Amino acid sequence: MDLPAEKARDYQVASVRKALELLCAFSTAGSVLTVSDLSRYLSIPKSTTHNLLRTLQSLSFVTQDEEKRFCLGPRVFELGLLFSRDTQLVTRALPHLRRLADETKETVKLAILSNDDLLVVAAIESPYQLHTRGDQGRRAPLHCTSLGKALLALLPGEEPREIAARRGMPRFTPHTNTSLNRLEEELAHVRRRGFALDREEHEEGVLCAAAGFVEPSSGALGAISISGPGTRITEGRLQEFGALVGEAARDMAGISGSTAAPAGDRRTIVEVG
């Protein structure tokens, strides 16, 4: 049974939450961390951090190298493989990603919502020497990426505003939008147009187009993107990418026309973390 967010918090076990926050830190603070690194990052005592790590190590969720640094262990990889295998979203999207990669020769990605961020769950990198990263398994903000805006545009009512309030809208480049009102205007435009754009908003020199969809059989929400360096991607080419990801998103949703889920008619959304 799904619980409302405020009710779910009442059932949280503090030690379990800390252990999971520690695991999640490896995706944001660094892939190899010391006890001191994790203690500072999570603002918890070293003794607590050490005890949590030893517990996780005993279950192979983390491992330790000769320099006493910790990294994620094989059990995390095992669970990731199970998620990938059992999530039909990835399986169904891969042919579309391959087709887009072959057609554009640029980097293509599939992302889902995860704890008020986007999480890249599949990617195919461009064969060009100069290309954007695939970032599979990495998180990115929603407000300044085309994938993030495509996902936000699928959410009904006040949800995009609530996420922005929780997460904030930090600036990453001179082109980053930090205005909630402007973001809401852009999301309305994304819903009308069918795709979102990122013109160097998250990373300088990187342009990207993405479109979101709700997969009909599972109700899973996702977004597909094409990205490349600004030295190669003209404005006209970026608009072409928008049309291509829009078509792929409509295919994933099994519909024609707008890819956005109607407000107030939201189906189950897959979120991780």
Tell me the pLDDT tens digit for each residue of 41-94.
999 999 999 999 999 999 999 999 888 899 999 888 888 777 666 567 888 899
- Band of residue 1 on the pLDDT scale cut at 50, 70, 90: very low
pTM of the complete model: 0.72
Backbone angles phi and psi of 255, in degrees to 5: -135, 175
Residue 12 has pLDDT above 90, yes or no: no
Q: Which residues contact 191 (CB under 8 A, 6 or more apart)?
A: 153, 258, 260
Name which of 118, 114, 135, 117 is nearest 126 in CA terms: 135
The C-alpha torsion from 169 through 172 and 176 to 180, rounded to 10°, is 0
| Full set of structural domains in the chain with CATH | 5-78 (1.10.10.10), 87-253 (3.30.450.40)
Helix (H) or strand (E) run with residue 269 in it: none
pLDDT tens digits, residue range 158-196?
A: 999 999 999 999 999 999 999 999 999 999 999 999 999
Q: What is the structure's pLDDT at 258?
A: 38
Q: Which residues contact 208 (CB under 8 A, 6 or more apart)?
A: 132, 145, 146, 147, 197, 198, 225, 226, 227, 228, 241
10 Å Cβ neighbour count for 237? 16
In terms of DSSP bridges, do strands 70-72 and 107-114 run parallel, antiparallel, or are they unpaired? unpaired
Amino acid code (one letter) for 235 = E
